[in-house]
């Protein structure tokens, strides 16, 4: 869509959303089900739109989780979006005779600023949740990923999404900026923290609320008693997955000093089996510069299987506090897990974290972490559970996508109260001189227990 038409796009989408939202949730979910069946039947064709990774990897990391996300909506969205009646329990006495219901209504026009690393799964989940909630959507694809968004949109159209409910914008930065300035009802951005700041400043001009799914610099905690072979295999998987270009890829590995040497040997063996592609020149340059700086401060570094692997790293090093979207790992010897948690809290990013070790100890330690997605004795894969919200805090953004929380975030609650019967409406009385004392006595009586 051309930039000249963007200023009127939100209003056009609101009109289309109003028509779409007039359909029942059940009718909308029929479309979601048809989409899921079409996606399952054309999975290889759709996956082939992603040209920077093997077909099997795309089906595993994008198509299958997106199918699960659609099925989750089919099963749960009706109950989540259904009007909720508020019972009498807890109702203030002075509101006797009042009945209330809370409705979930669509926001209207939703703008999705889509990512480049998982253009089918992440973008698709956000599109499905937005239209299930009754919204109309404009999608600004990541540069070079228009084909992926178009493929999803075509499937949704074939499934019964009405014309115009989903608009695809140009994949340029200028198109994204113009769309943000146009004044949508909500913006979902998946990207770097620097991009999040820039977009948030623009969105503030129109008071547009946002969901920001931003950068990560994820921590891994290896507790005493952990299966170090499982840890090594998991970390190698995290580096191999999407060439390390995953927002919840592991980077900072906290481990007891007495276990560090064994962990290093196991990691070297597993990383040597990898062939991780080199990131783009700009990212590679940043990683190289920060690695040189870390070495100057006492760390050791080597490149193994395409992964930059640092040992004897310290939490204060710039690389361990930066947003570098590349395959790198830093082993951080710690005197205790309490020290490791304190060190982790100094990092401005808090998206995901993984813990390895005895379950009870991991659960206890997890309660001290800031990350929004915490996995015990595994890494990354469990976060694709469509029932779970996904989001971080600090430099990793705010708000949640996916799960019940992600769906409800694309609606607004509307409370409707109805007064019935002959119950006195004391607030309609003309105020009297003794009302203050009477009301004070009433307050004491109502709050005696």
The residues carrying an active-site annotation are: 213
Contact predicate 240/224, CB 8 Å = no
| CA dihedral for 193, 173, 156, 28, sign (positive or negative) | positive
Distance CA(173)–CA(141), nearest Å, equals: 10
Closest by CA to 270, choosing from 344, 329, 182, is 329
Cβ–Cβ under 8 Å, residues 153 and 125: no
Query: Which residue in this structure is represented by tokens 């409910």?
Result: 165
In sequence order, the 6+-apart residues with CB closer than 8 A to the CB of 312 are 298, 299, 300, 331, 333
Lookup: tokens for 405: 């929380």
Q: Computed from CA positions of residues 256, 258, 264, 269, in that sequence, does the dihedral angle turn out positive or negative?
A: negative
How far, in Å, CA of 291 to CA of 322, rounded? Answer: 11
Instruction: For strands 210-213 and 300-304, give the pairing.
Output: unpaired
- Burial category of 249 from C-beta neighbours within 10 Å (exposed 0-12, middle 13-18, buried 19 and up): buried
Tell me the C-alpha distance between 73 and 81, whole Å.
11
């Amino acid at each position: 869509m051309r930039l000249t038409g963007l200023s009127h796009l939100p209003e056009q989408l609101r009109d289309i959303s109003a028509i779409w939202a007039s359909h029942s949730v059940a009718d909308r979910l029929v479309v979601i089900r048809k989409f899921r069946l079409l996606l399952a039947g054309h999975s290889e064709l759709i996956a082939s739109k992603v040209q920077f990774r093997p077909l099997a990897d795309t089906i595993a990391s994008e198509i299958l989780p997106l199918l699960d996300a659609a099925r989750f909506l089919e099963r749960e969205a009706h109950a989540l979006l259904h009007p909720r009646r508020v019972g009498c329990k807890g109702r203030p006495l002075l509101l006797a005779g009042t009945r209330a219901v809370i409705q979930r209504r669509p926001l209207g026009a939703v703008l999705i600023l889509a990512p480049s690393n998982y253009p089918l799964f992440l973008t698709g989940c956000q599109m499905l949740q937005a239209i299930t909630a009754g919204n109309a959507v404009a999608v600004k694809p990541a540069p070079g990923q228009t084909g992926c968004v178009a493929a999803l949109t075509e499937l949704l159209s074939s499934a019964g999404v009405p014309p115009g409910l989903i608009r695809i914008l140009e994949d340029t930065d200028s198109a994204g900026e113009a769309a943000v300035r146009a004044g949508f009802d909500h913006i979902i951005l998946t990207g770097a923290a620097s991009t999040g700041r820039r977009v948030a400043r623009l969105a503030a001009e129109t008071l547009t609320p946002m969901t920001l799914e931003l950068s990560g610099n994820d921590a891994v905690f290896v507790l005493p008693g952990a299966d170090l072979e499982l840890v090594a295999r998991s970390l190698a998987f995290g580096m191999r997955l999407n060439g390390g270009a995953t927002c919840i890829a592991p980077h900072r590995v906290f481990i007891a000093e007495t276990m560090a040497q064994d962990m290093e040997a196991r990691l070297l063996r597993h990383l040597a089996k990898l062939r991780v592609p080199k990131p783009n020149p700009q990212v590679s340059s940043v990683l190289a510069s920060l690695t040189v700086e870390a070495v100057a401060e006492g760390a050791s570094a080597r490149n193994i299987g395409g992964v930059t692997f640092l040992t004897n790293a310290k939490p204060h090093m710039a690389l361990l506090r930066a947003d570098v979207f590349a395959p790198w790992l830093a082993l951080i010897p710690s005197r205790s897990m309490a020290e490791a948690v304190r060190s982790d809290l100094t990092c401005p990013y808090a998206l995901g974290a993984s813990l390895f070790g005895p379950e009870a100890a991991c659960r206890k330690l997890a309660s001290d972490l800031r990350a929004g997605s915490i996995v015990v004795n595994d890494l990354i894969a469990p976060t694709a559970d469509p029932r779970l919200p996904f989001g971080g805090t600090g430099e990793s953004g705010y708000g949640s996508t996916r799960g019940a929380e992600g769906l409800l975030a694309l609606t607004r609650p509307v409370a409707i109260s109805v007064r019935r019967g002959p119950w006195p409406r004391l607030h309609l009385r003309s105020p009297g001189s003794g009302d203050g004392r009477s009301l004070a006595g009433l307050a004491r009586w109502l709050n005696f227990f």
